[in-house]
Structure 1
Amino acid sequence: MASSQRLRALALYKELHRLGREFEPSYDFHGKLRRLYEKSRHLTDEGEIEKAIQFGEYIKNETLALYSLRKYRHLRRMYPSGSSGDNSNGTMY
């Protein structure tokens, strides 16, 4: 059981590391990620390890949400503020 948790933790680390490439360099995402993993390195209780993995999954989901929000904001800036997407006569085009 512990080896499967280890593999999950390593896969999560790799995934977070890849996600961190797009993060703002001043935030030091990779440094914080490494420190967080080193802090949890000594865990032996399977429940605690599972909690740490769940926290990592939460961080991954929040990071993905931030990227989606950033992309949405960029798309929103690309269109003029006055356009609502429809014409006055009710047709789309």
Structure 2
Amino acid sequence: MSDYAKLRPSHGNIPLDAIFDEMRDRYSLMQVGWNRGKWVRGNLIYVIIDNDQVIIEYDGMEYGITQDLVKKGIPESDMVLAFLPDSRTVSIA
């Protein structure tokens, strides 16, 4: 997340903030700022770690984060793309 937070959008003044909740294993990348006179805010990435699986709840990045996670050593079999229909295989409490 920290690497993604260093990115800058191609337009607008929209900083990115990495949010870490290590106690509950929730990780997020938020955007908050101005673009062409409009207030922009929202979540770009939301990831949960549960039962040794990386659950990608939302991925709003242009190329996605899955391949970056694989490059960092996380097997695709340990990832769940929860934003796709019928992909959730674990229960989030």
The interval holding the TM-score normalised by the smaller chain is under 0.3
What TM-score, normalized by structure 2, do the two folds share? 0.24
What TM-score, normalized by structure 1, do the two folds share? 0.24
Structure having the larger proportion of residues in helix: 1
Structure number with greater Rg is: 1
